[in-house]
């Protein structure tokens, strides 16, 4: 049987490989998405003092370190049996909103947009952020850089380190902010809201304004009917920092809602011999194989599934865009893989609005930053929504807080089975008997993958900075085509 290998898959964080097996007449027999790496954090965190874990696990991903720092910080709070004071909780969430803003902006512009703005089958040398800016104009490119930078400034200010954040301590945070810093963040958050609104308009113009792309989203080989997972607050609204995990079925009906410490009753993981990454599924349903539909145990944990799993957004503009998206896509739940990009922009607006709310909160400049330490409980679970899915950290310690065991279910891991299935479906839809397989075909298969991983975005988060400079030169040579004006 002949075989096509895409290795490595690119414009993502981490390693991955796609194997496509063809039938003798040139159709697609099967597709395997393999993760060729493992580092073993679960093992080597053992023996460390538990308070060190928030700054060790950031190294799981230098692209979304803030997510691991938050899940870990919450697990450590639980190990110590502590609830952080309101100021600490709000500072964590404020940091986290800035983390989402910079990540979602960068994913849309640097990673998703090349496929839509430059074109899915465009020359690969141009199918990157440079190509995007060439199309949309330097002015927008500059704004992308500016907003991402501002989000990073807020993270560095609150988080203590621009990449590998160090803010969390058992029961709180190490550093507060003053009134002057708060005023500055308020101004910046107002800018985020404007830029978020602009970004969703851009998406509507470029993607929804092009029938070819709309067809690709709605009728293309990218839809997958699976259950949806996401963290919600007590009103069932989307929340990234705290709440319960809600899972709705393929029809949008609530299957269950669980607290972090109940996760092992609801999620189970499977090992396949051909990938180092495990395959989680819904335990109550069980593993039924790589199949879609109501009876399948496979679920998705993506921006789109978060919106599917919730009853709405907790902020006004995001709620408006949430309603608009589901209205246009034919109601909840939506299963079109490429609609994840749209959902991500709705989340971007929410993050920006929530950032402003928190910055304006009177508690945010408080000075009570951590709860007094008492007796160590010895076990704790922390769950947050990472940009790329529900993130679970579970720690066990001895009575002194030395780590005995660690269990992790990381964002993308949730989607491992779903990604395999999306890729197979995309390949089967795109590679037919007698189809000429071009680089563009393979990229369109990778698009099925890319839709899942917003975490990849922060990886390239300052690439626009690089490309802008390059484009100044290109501009003088007359190569920039300004198709879209900022409004």
Partner 1 sequence: MSDSSIPNPKIKLAVYWGSACGGCCVSVLDTHEKLLDIVNAADLVFWPIAMDIKYKDVEAMADQSIDLTLFNGAVRNSENKHMAEVLRKKSKVLVAYGACAYMGGIPGLANFHSREEIFKRVYEESESTLNPDKVRPVEEFEVKEGVLKIPEFFNDVYTLNQVVDVDYFIPGCPPQSERLVEVFTAVITGIGLPPKGSVVGALEKTNCDECLRKKTDNKVIKRFYRPWEIEDDKETCFLEQGVICMGPATRGGCGVRCVTGHSPCRGCYGPPPNSTDPGAKMMSSIGTMIDADSPEEIDEIIETIVDPAGLFYRFSLPGSILGRKVL
- Of 40 and 331, which CB lies nearer to partner 1 in the complex structure? 40
Question: Can you tell me which of 53, 409, 417, 418 binds partner 1, judged by CB under 8 A?
Answer: 409
Contacts of 387 (CB under 8 A, 6+ apart): 64, 67, 100, 103, 104, 107, 303, 411, 454, 455, 457, 458
Q: Does 61 bind partner 1 (CB under 8 A)?
A: yes
DSSP 438-464: -HHHHHHHHHHHHTT-THHHHHTTTHH
Q: Does 10 bind partner 1 (CB under 8 A)?
A: yes
Residues 450-479 that bind partner 1 (CB under 8 A): 456, 458-463, 465-467, 469-470, 473
Please state the three-class secondary structure of 263-280 as a single string: HHHHEEEECCCCCCCCEE
Residues 31-50 that bind partner 1 (CB under 8 A): 32, 34, 36-40, 42-49
End-to-end alpha carbon distance in the chain: 53
Site size toward partner 1 (CB under 8 A) is 102
Residues 135-164 that bind partner 1 (CB under 8 A): 149, 159-164
Binding mask 270-289 for partner 1 (x = CB under 8 A): xxxxxxx-x-x------x--
Helix (H) or strand (E) holding 6: strand 3-6
Q: How far is the CB of 371 from partner 1 (least distance, A)?
A: 10
Binding mask 172-191 for partner 1 (x = CB under 8 A): --xx----------------
Taken as a whole, the chain contains a residue count of 487
Q: How far is the CB of 326 from partner 1 (least distance, A)?
A: 32
Q: How far is the CB of 134 from partner 1 (least distance, A)?
A: 11
Residues 72-111 that bind partner 1 (CB under 8 A): 110
The helix/strand/coil state of 451 is coil
Residues 215-254 that bind partner 1 (CB under 8 A): none
**Alpha-carbon gap, residue 487 to 382, rounded angstroms:** 41
Q: Does 30 bind partner 1 (CB under 8 A)?
A: yes
Residues 249-268 that bind partner 1 (CB under 8 A): 263-264, 267-268
The helix/strand/coil state of 312 is strand
**Alpha-carbon gap, residue 269 to 445, rounded angstroms:** 26
Question: Can you tell me which of 18, 53, 63, 94 binds partner 1, judged by CB under 8 A?
Answer: 63
Residues 372-401 that bind partner 1 (CB under 8 A): 373, 394, 400-401
Residue 470 has a CB neighbour count (10 Å cut-off) of: 12
**Alpha-carbon gap, residue 479 to 134, rounded angstroms:** 7
């Amino acid at each position: 049987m002949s075989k096509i290998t895409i290795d490595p898959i690119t414009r993502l964080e981490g390693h991955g490989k796609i194997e496509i097996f063809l039938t003798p007449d040139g159709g697609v027999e099967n597709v395997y998405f393999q993760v060729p790496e493992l580092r073993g954090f679960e093992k080597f965190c053992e023996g460390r003092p538990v308070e060190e874990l928030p700054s060790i696990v950031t190294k799981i991903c230098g692209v979304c370190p803030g997510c691991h720092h938050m899940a870990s910080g919450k697990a450590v709070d639980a190990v110590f049996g502590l609830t952080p004071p309101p100021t600490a909780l709000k500072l964590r969430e404020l940091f986290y909103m800035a983390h989402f803003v910079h990540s979602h902006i960068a994913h849309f512009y640097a990673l998703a947009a090349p496929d839509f703005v430059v074109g899915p089958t465009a020359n690969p040398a141009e199918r990157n952020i440079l190509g995007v800016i060439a199309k949309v104009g330097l002015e927008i490119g500059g704004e992308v850089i500016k907003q991402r930078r501002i989000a990073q400034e807020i993270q560095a200010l609150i988080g203590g380190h621009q990449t590998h954040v160090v803010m969390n301590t058992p029961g709180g945070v190490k550093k507060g902010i003053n009134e002057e810093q708060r005023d500055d963040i308020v101004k910046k958050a107002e800018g985020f809201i404007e830029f978020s609104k602009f970004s969703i308009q851009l998406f509507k113009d470029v993607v929804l304004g092009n029938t070819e792309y709309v067809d690709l989203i709605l009728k293309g080989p990218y839809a997958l009917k699976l259950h949806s997972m996401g963290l919600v607050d007590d009103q069932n609204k989307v929340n990234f920092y705290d709440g319960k995990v809600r899972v709705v079925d393929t029809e949008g009906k609530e299957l269950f809602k669980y607290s972090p410490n109940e996760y092992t009753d609801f999620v189970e993981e499977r090992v396949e011999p051909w990938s180092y990454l495990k395959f989680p599924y819904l335990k109550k349903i069980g593993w039924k194989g790589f199949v879609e539909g109501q009876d399948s145990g496979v679920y998705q944990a993506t921006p789109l599934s978060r919106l599917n799993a919730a009853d709405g957004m907790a902020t006004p503009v995001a709620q408006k865009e949430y309603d608009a998206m589901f209205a246009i896509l034919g109601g909840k739940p939506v299963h079109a893989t490429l609609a994840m990009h749209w959902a991500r922009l709705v989340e971007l607006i929410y993050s920006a609005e929530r950032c402003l709310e928190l910055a304006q909160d009177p508690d945010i400049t408080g000075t009570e930053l951590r709860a007094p330490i008492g007796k160590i409980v010895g076990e704790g679970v922390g769950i947050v929504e990472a940009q790329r899915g529900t993130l679970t950290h579970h720690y066990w310690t001895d009575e002194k807080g030395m780590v005995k065991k660690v269990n992790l279910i990381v964002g993308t891991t949730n989607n491992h089975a779903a990604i395999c299935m999306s890729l197979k479906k995309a390949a089967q839809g795109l590679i037919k008997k007698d189809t000429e397989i071009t680089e563009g075909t393979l990229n369109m298969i990778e698009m099925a993958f890319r839709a899942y991983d917003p975490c990849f975005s922060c990886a390239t988060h300052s690439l626009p900075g690089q490309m802008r400079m390059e484009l100044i030169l290109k501009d003088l040579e007359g190569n920039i085509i300004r198709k879209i004006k900022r409004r």
